[in-house]
Amino acid sequence: MGQPADSLETMPGAHGEGHAPRDGAAASGVETPSGKDAAYENFPVGSFLLPARLRPHVACFYRFARAIDDIADNAALDADTKVRRLAGFEAALLGHAPGDAAYATAERMRESLAETDVTPRHCQDLIDAFKQDAVKGRYADWDDLMHYCIRSAAPVGRYLIDLHGGSAHGYGSSDALCNALQVINHLQDCRDDYRALDRVYLPGDWMAEEGAVVEDLDRPACTPAMRRVIDRCLDATEILLAEARPIAGGMHNRRLGMESAAIWEIARRLTDLLRRRDPLAGRVALTKGGYGWCCLKGALGALVGRYGR
């Protein structure tokens, strides 16, 4: 991540001295909505579990994250264009491009951060991760993948913790949960990521050791070698979930603790499903009923202290 193209122009304070990012796109054309929304995610976004006064800020953060993710995932844009547009988001986020309608989503995020006294660092980390997505499509090993996840996923949990007054665990258990969710999402979308974007979020050393090749992701079903790679990813994900299990008990805000426990239950259930189903044969996801049950189980479990401290 964070390997911008040499031709990138930046605003002062963003990634260097220079001028505002410009790629010739009309103001209305900088964002490239994918059609994905909160219903697509593996976690509740600003649900009723969270305090009502903070839900608009959570929605603002999600809108910002979705906008920059959609730019990074747009197969019609070249890498330089993606990086320039993402740099424009960062410039607007930091107040270096005030009034630019092309980056109104970032302007609203900046206003929300100022109102809630939350650092822009989490948003900047997301931007950095999505810049990397524009230029990098392979990961050497699990540590390489985790280095990506700590910027592409962990900032979401860190933002929520800061917004809700902190956690006795710091960011540790939250980072583990968010990184686990990211890997789960990579496994759910491994075929589509390869076909549409030539991205493979599977550790290259594990693939080599198991005898799998990236072209296996274009098959209608997993080869035995690819199945072993996916299972190794799930083994590592279960370690992350074990680290994340106490997350609810550490939250200073009880309602965020309830939502965190619900998300943990969703992640655990998806991990179980990915063990039994083939993500190349179709996207592995929870049913509405299964999703609702995980949310209820997690929220009630947090209330009675089931997840410890």
| Residues 162-167, mean pLDDT to the nearest whole number | 97
Question: pLDDT tens, 260-276?
Answer: 999 999 999 999 999 99
Please state the rounded mean pLDDT for residues 3-21. 32
pTM (predicted TM-score): 0.87
Tokens matching residue 53: 């006064």
Provide the mean pLDDT of the chain.
88
Lowest mean pLDDT: which of 46-50, 83-87, 130-134? Answer: 46-50
Q: Read off the pLDDT band of 96 (50, 70, 90).
A: very high
Give residue 217's pLDDT band: very low, low, confident or very high (50, 70, 90): very high
Could you give the count of Cα atoms lying within 13 Å of 198 in the half-sphere of its Cβ?
A: 7
pLDDT value of residue 159:
98
State residue 271's pLDDT score.
98
Cα(129)–Cα(52) distance, integer angstroms: 30
On the question of pLDDT at 14 being above 90, the answer is no
Q: What count of residues does the chain have?
A: 309
Q: pLDDT-based confidence at 142, cuts 50/70/90?
A: very high
What pLDDT is stored for residue 174 in this prediction? 97
Residue 91 has pLDDT above 70, yes or no: yes
- Radius of gyration over alpha carbons of the chain, in Å? 19
Phi, psi of 203 (to 5 degrees): -60, 125
- The rounded percent of the chain whose pLDDT value lies above 90 is 80
Q: What is the pLDDT of residue 305?
A: 86
Give the pLDDT mean for 209-215: 98
CA pair distance 72, 53, nearest whole angstrom: 31
Q: State mean pLDDT over 281-297.
A: 93
- In the chain the domains, ranked by start, together with CATH numbers, are 51-135 (no CATH), 138-309 (1.10.600.10)
- What pLDDT, on the 0 to 100 scale, is given for residue 19? 36
Q: What is the DSSP string of the chain?
A: -----TT----TTTTSSS-----S--GGGS----S--GGGSSS-SS-TTS-TTTHHHHHHHHHHHHHHHHHHT-TTS-HHHHHHHHHHHHHHHTTSSTT-GGGHHHHHHHHHHHHHT--THHHHHHHHHHHHHHH---BSSHHHHHHHHHHHTHHHHHHHHHHTT-BTTTTHHHHHHHHHHHHHHHHHTHHHHHHHH----SBHHHHHHHT--GGGGGSSS--HHHHHHHHHHHHHHHHHHHHHTTHHHHBSSHHHHHHHHHHHHHHHHHHHHHHHS-TTTS-----HHHHHHHHHHHHHHHHTTTT--
